[in-house]
Amino acid sequence: MNAVWTLFRSNLRTKKVQNVLTTVLILLSTLLLATAMIVISNTQNLFSDMHSQTNGSHQMLMLENGLHDPKSVKQWWDVQQGVTASEMIPYRNLSGITHHGKEMNNIYMFMMDTPQLPITVDKLIGAQGNVGSAPEAGTIWIPTSLSYSNGIAVGDTVGFKTGKSTFELKVAAVVVDMPFGAPFTRNARIWMNTQDYKELLQPLQGKDKYMMGLRFDNYDTNTQYWERFEQQLRTPYLESKMEFESISSFYLIMNKVIGFVMIFLGAVMLLVALFTIGFTISDAILANYRTIGVLKSCGLSSFGIIGTYIAQYAFLSIIGIIPGLISSQFLSKVIVESSLSSLKTNRSELSVQGDFTAIIVGVSVLALVILCVLFYANKARSVQPVQAIRYGMSELDSNKSTRRLRWNGHHPVGFDRLPVTFVIGLRNLLKNVKGSILTLLLTVITSAVLVFGFVFLFSIHSIQQTAPSWGYDNSHIAVDVFNKAALSHTHFEEDMLSDPRIKNFGWIGEATGVIPSEPSERPGISDTPSMNVHLGVADGSYDDLGYTTLKGNNPRLANEIAIGVNVSKKLNKDVGDMITVYINGKKHSLLVTGIYQAIANMSYSARITADVFKEDHLDYSNAAICLINLHDSGLSDQVAKDINRKYKEALSAVTQKALLDSVYKEAVDLLIMPMSIMGLLFIVVTCIIIYITCRITIRKESKTYGIYKSLGLTSNRIRASLTQGIVALSVIGALLGIGVGVYVLPMLLENILSYYGILEVPLIMHWGGIMAAAFASIVSTGIGSWLSSRVIAKTSPRILVIE
């Protein structure tokens, strides 16, 4: 035991730099893995806790078109056991909002007639200001998602456009509003005083709409309730319905993406660290082969020698794991609070819990390190004392080495015909095959990670270029009509047709479609439940407006429909199948002509043409958005300003870039920090591992480099030769890593985004940035190699030769 302890202390004392860097590797691996696990678990837990605290709804019914009697719907759900129904709350829609004189684009508001609190379902939790029984006259409550993302604070005045006029109300409180308070949402419930609602909104054209939340004791049983409800109605439920999956999706999506990337990269980093530890142990055994033989001949058992390595790396692991776990608490808190800021209030911070999760990660990392050490250190058992003392290696390896030297001596093409600098670098790579393989793998991984991170961030930042692949249109300008009474469609269209700058335009509206329950064709499988889908309605050509499909085509005729990928999967429908859809209470049998992906509504949506309504002799009047394409996209800002100036009382024209930026700028801001941290960590890890492996090989070849120096080669020339060889190998690895980062890693991300309706992640290949990202891995490799060779410059040739 005393011998093991002595060797343990010797290894720590004589290999200080190598031990420190190994500890840093374990620390960084632990940091990434623990942070990812804490982020994922807390994201779900914080959402679930707030959802329970507010008695949040699992489904939100929006009765907008008068197809069902609100009182009858309310009465039926009120008497159901196991379901809690909220009040049936009246509301009106508005889409024009200003703050400090600046109009906020792409925000659609539900102006709510606030009932007396407390509300039974979806209770409002005060984040800022005082939440009483109801907003006072002249004031409103707004959700945290609207407040935090647009800088609206308590006491600010907000203006609302009704078309005919604009009215202003003062923000009295900011509230956590679960169904419409997720990050990135463009919908917001504005809670008004009842008297204000009656005076300001009810005189406007149109009728009140109604909203009601349902909370189930057991959400899994909701299908049974809906079957009975639709039997009572004697028809499918024909109005809008928002499911729990849609409510929760945007609370969870960002941290799921971040967590997935961090777990993947953390696991890769840990595997690289384990491989490096194994490489170091294998090299240490070979380098100390004769010493191990002497120790064995003196009576030290193989287990004692193995125990030395176990003690060393267990000690280093504990030193690295503890600060890694502590750091993960702070990093995960920053990520969670930034991505779930809409759940944060001034009265209570987000409570990030992760002690138990962190301990599990730490114990797992320690166990993996010990198993790795056992596996590689077990080679010490095969050391035979006599062979070790005589050859410094096994007799078999000694014979192989001798044959290799003889064979190289008779090789027809020798190193003497090549430049000295090239020969030294090449010889270093060929003689240390394991180290060269590790270097190649590491640069492949690092460049792949950096390239993938850059491509993903750049693609989200430049989403305008791939908008159709995310389910959006590809038009240049979107015109939102907020006052239909003040706009003559005929006059507006004549102006658009006469403007030489405009290439084409079309109208897009919305409707709710209900796909009724269908009996299953397979025995033992339950019937397909009825499904509410968001319908896009085009009065014009989808293709001209830039909408695309993954499969098939957009609808062109009245009997055609294109469906989202999640609708296709859930109903098992493909191009060429017929589908039954209730639209405004009318039953339609439509032919599926295409399947598309869309992040909006999680692809639980479909596209039809306005001709569907014209077939029933209906005047489709919900087309409130006109999409405009220009001959020159560079004129988008000017054309939008001209339209706004001419029709300022009826509509708002905004460029597509402004609309997309309003949604995805927040996503980019949330992704930049964790992705940058992970990229920086991999660069550091690459530098550390290359330093360790090169330092080991230099120590083994110290005598050779001493001979080179004694023959007249300068230290810098030797160091440059070694670095050039490593850099050349890393260039090959970086090129391979580009392929992995561009083609392989996005496939893993698609597995997560497929749940949200994206089967093929639309990526933009900016090759200048890709090459720069890959070059960063080459630079880190070169720096690690150059720094590791400082020992050559510091040591005299005589000492090197003697060693």
Q: Is the pLDDT of residue 54 over 80?
A: yes
Q: Is the pLDDT of residue 296 over 70?
A: no
First to last CA, the chain: 30
- pLDDT tens for each residue of 466-475: 889 998 888 9
The two beta strands, 502-515 and 586-596, are unpaired
pLDDT at 412: 45
Query: pLDDT band at residue 413, thresholds of 50, 70 and 90?
Result: very low
pLDDT at 404: 47
Lowest mean pLDDT among 313-322, 348-357, 551-560, 630-639: 348-357
- pLDDT tens for each residue of 175-211: 999 888 887 777 889 999 999 999 888 887 778 899 9
pLDDT at 775: 93
What percentage of the chain exceeds 70 in pLDDT?
A: 88
Q: Is the pLDDT of residue 77 over 90?
A: yes
Rounded Cα distance between 573 and 567, Å, is: 8
- pLDDT tens for each residue of 541-554: 899 988 999 999 99
Task: Name which of 77, 328, 118 is nearest 212 in CA terms.
Answer: 77
- pLDDT tens for each residue of 94-105: 877 888 878 777
Query: pLDDT band at residue 523, thresholds of 50, 70 and 90?
Result: low
Q: Are 580 and 514 in contact (CB under 8 A)?
A: no
Q: Is the pLDDT of residue 5 over 80?
A: no
The winner for highest mean pLDDT among 396-400, 598-602, 764-768 is 764-768
pLDDT at 414: 55
Burial class (CB in 10 A: 0-12, 13-18, 19+), 143: buried
pLDDT at 698: 81
Task: Name which of 19, 36, 37, 14 is nearest 319 in CA terms.
Answer: 19
Mean pLDDT value of segment 562-577: 91
What is the three-class DSSP state of 591?
Answer: strand
Q: Are 510 and 622 in contact (CB under 8 A)?
A: yes
pLDDT at 714: 81
Burial class (CB in 10 A: 0-12, 13-18, 19+), 455: buried
- pLDDT tens for each residue of 612-661: 877 664 555 556 788 999 999 889 999 998 988 888 777 888 888 888 88
Q: Which residue has the higher pLDDT, 771 or 540?
A: 771
What is the three-class DSSP state of 213?
Answer: strand
Lowest mean pLDDT among 4-18, 101-115, 161-175, 685-699: 4-18
Per-residue b/e over 542-567, b at no fewer than 16 CB within 10 Å? bebbbbbbeebebbeebbbbbbbbbb
- pLDDT tens for each residue of 681-700: 888 888 888 888 888 788 77
pLDDT at 345: 77
The runs of H, that is alpha helices, within 546-655 are 565-571, 611-615, 636-646
φ/ψ region of 213 (left if φ > 0, alpha if ψ in -120 to 50, else beta) reads beta
What percentage of the chain exceeds 90 in pLDDT?
A: 23
* Average pLDDT in the chain: 82
Q: In the Cβ-directed half-sphere of 400, how many Cα atoms lie within 13 Å?
A: 5
Residue 296 makes CB contacts below 8 A (sequence gap 6+) with 302, 305, 383, 385, 388
- pLDDT tens for each residue of 417-442: 667 777 777 777 777 777 788 888 88
pLDDT at 347: 66
Q: Which residue has the higher pLDDT, 549 or 233?
A: 549
Rounded Cα distance between 757 and 754, Å, is: 5
Residue 760 makes CB contacts below 8 A (sequence gap 6+) with 469, 550, 597, 750
pLDDT at 629: 92
pLDDT at 248: 85
